[in-house]
Amino acid sequence: MANLSRILGPLLGVAAGVLVAGWFMKPTPASLPDTASVVQQMREVARLETLQVSLYKKVTFTPEPEATDALWKDVVNWARHTLQNPHGRAIVFADAHLGFDFQRIGPSSLHVVGTKVQVVLPPVDVRVELRPGETEVIDSNLDSTQTAQLLEKAKVAFERDVRADSRLQQRARDSAERSLRVLLLTLGYREVLFVEKLPSTGTAG
C-alpha cells in the first residue's frame, strides 16, 4: 500500500497540473461577438437590481433643536416656514434600491482588444420607496396634506443620503461587476476590466 501511494501520489499531482494547465490554455473561441451584439445582450438585462437596503430616520420638526444632518435640514426648514408653531416628530421607514439601467449602455461604453474588454458602467440608479405602514407621525399638528408633503421631502432626503454614501455605492458597483463579468466571460472574453473612463486610442471590436 505504501508503494502504491508513492506511485499514485506523483501521478495525481501531474494529472491535476495537466487539468489546471488545460483550463488556462483553452483555445480562444473562433470568433467573439461584435460590440453591438454584446451591448444588446447587456441591455437585455434591462435593469440590474444589485442592492436593497432598509432605512429609517427620526425627524423632529419643532423650531428647536436644529437639524444636525445637513441632508435633512430641508425637512425641518419646510415645517418651520410652512406651519404655525410646528411641533411633532416622525419616524420614517423606507427601502432604497440601488441598481444600474443597462439601457444606457452603448458601444461607447465598451473597449475591446482581442479577448480583453473594458467596460464603463452607467451611474448608479437610486430609487427610494417609503414604507407608510411602518412610518409614525407622533404628536403632530400636520394635516393629511402636510403629512404627505413631509413624507415626500423625507423621501428626497433619503435619496440624498444614499447617493452620498460611498460604501453603498461601492457595494452596488461590486455586485454589478460580478454579474456582468460572468456574462462577458460566457461570451468568450478572457479578461474583463471595469474602468471609469475608456482609453482614447485603440480599436473597438
User: Do the domain assignments include residue 205?
Assistant: no
Its domain, for residue 105, covers: 2-194
User: Do the domain assignments include residue 74?
Assistant: yes
Q: What is the pLDDT of residue 117?
A: 93
Total domains in the fold of the chain? 1
Tell me the three state secondary structure of residue 50: strand
Contact between 62 and 132 under an 8 Å Cβ cutoff? The reply is: no
User: Do the domain assignments include residue 148?
Assistant: yes
User: Do the domain assignments include residue 48?
Assistant: yes
The per-residue b/e assignment along 79-114, b for 16 or more CB within 10 angstroms, e otherwise, is: beeebeebebebebbbebbbbbebeebeeebbbbee
CA 145, 146, 151, 155 dihedral sign is positive
Q: What is the pLDDT of residue 25?
A: 46
Q: How far apart are CA 69 and CA 74, in angstroms?
A: 10
User: Do the domain assignments include residue 11?
Assistant: yes
**Partner residues linked to 47 by β-bridges:** 101
Tell me the three state secondary structure of residue 38: helix
pLDDT tens, residue by residue, 33-49: 888 888 887 777 656 66
Tell me the three state secondary structure of residue 92: strand
User: Do the domain assignments include residue 203?
Assistant: no
C-alpha cell read off for 87:
411641533
Q: What is the pLDDT of residue 142?
A: 76
Measured CA distances, 83 to 49, 140, 148, 152 (Å): 39, 11, 14, 16
Contact between 82 and 119 under an 8 Å Cβ cutoff? The reply is: no
Q: What is the pLDDT of residue 62?
A: 64
Profile the chain (205 residues) by mean pLDDT over runs of 10 residues.
42 42 48 81 68 84 54 63 68 90 86 93 91 84 80 87 91 88 90 91 48
Q: What is the pLDDT of residue 52?
A: 86
pTM above 0.75, yes or no: no
User: Do the domain assignments include residue 132?
Assistant: yes
Q: What is the pLDDT of residue 95?
A: 94
pLDDT tens, residue by residue, 102-136: 888 888 899 999 999 999 998 989 999 999 888 88
User: Do the domain assignments include residue 53?
Assistant: yes
